[in-house]
């Protein structure tokens, strides 16, 4: 089953070691629309990819992205995430365009939406050929120029690290599609959702 989510939206990063803590937070947000769940790298390393299906027990139709971080075996890890029931997959730190292409192919094969977490504004040049579904940058490296370039390529843009509502408004106006927040920002979730 291919699930979709509307844009813009908030992506809640479940940065927990214990899946029970993550599930408790998912229960607390009460299946809010315009919220995607991110199974963090820490959660996946601690609990395994089964954490995706355990989160789905709490929210069966949730849009869940598995953040795998750096990939050592691209094809195998894409297959594992697809079998685990995720809707999308985040990867980072690609050394070559060929590796990035392999990631996109692996996601297509597994019917996963490919998300690319990039730490440098220069990485936008690498994505021109392969076009992931979403690129995610930290707020300190994101610029209106990057958003515009990504939009020209048909790529959605996400931002991590936003703490203030004014920043959310500013980036919504500039075309940012995904606002990644951590568990520490859940108290502000409703305010974020009203803005996006």
Phi, psi dihedrals of residue 19, rounded to the nearest 5°: -65, -25
CATH, range 9-195: 3.20.20.70
**What pLDDT score was predicted for residue 2?**
66
Q: Which residue ranges in the chain fall short of pLDDT 50?
A: none
**What pLDDT score was predicted for residue 193?**
80
**What pLDDT score was predicted for residue 69?**
94
**What pLDDT score was predicted for residue 5?**
87
**What pLDDT score was predicted for residue 101?**
93
Euclidean distance between CA atoms 74 and 96, whole angstroms: 13
Distance, C-alpha 59 to centroid of its chain: 17
| pLDDT, tens digit (0-9, with 9 covering 90-100), for 84-106 | 999 999 999 888 889 999 999 99
**What pLDDT score was predicted for residue 41?**
96
**What pLDDT score was predicted for residue 131?**
83
Give the DSSP letter string of 36-64: EEEE-HHHHHHH-THHHHHHHHHSTT--E
Nearest to 83 by CA among 44, 49, 37: 49
Contact at 8 Å (CB) between 37 and 61?
no
């Amino acid at each position: 089953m291919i699930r979709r989510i509307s844009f813009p939206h908030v992506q809640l990063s479940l940065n927990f070691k214990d899946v029970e803590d993550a599930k408790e937070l998912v229960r607390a947000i009460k299946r809010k629309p315009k919220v995607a769940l991110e199974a963090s790298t820490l959660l996946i390393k601690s609990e395994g990819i089964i954490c995706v299906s355990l989160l789905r027990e709490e929210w069966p139709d949730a849009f869940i992205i598995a953040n795998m971080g750096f990939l050592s075996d691209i094809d195998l890890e894409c297959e594992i995430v697809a079998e685990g029931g995720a809707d999308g997959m985040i990867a980072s730190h690609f050394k070559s365009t060929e590796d990035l292409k392999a990631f996109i192919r692996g996601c297509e094969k597994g019917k996963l939406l490919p998300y690319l977490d990039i730490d440098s504004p220069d990485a936008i040049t690498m994505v021109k050929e392969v076009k992931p579904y979403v690129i995610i940058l930290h707020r300190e490296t994101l610029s209106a120029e990057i958003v515009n370039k990504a939009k020209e390529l048909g790529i959605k843009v996400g931002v991590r690290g936003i703490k203030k509502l004014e920043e959310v408004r500013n980036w919504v106006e500039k075309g940012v599609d995904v606002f990644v927040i951590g568990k520490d920002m859940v108290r502000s979730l409703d305010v974020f959702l009203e803005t996006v």
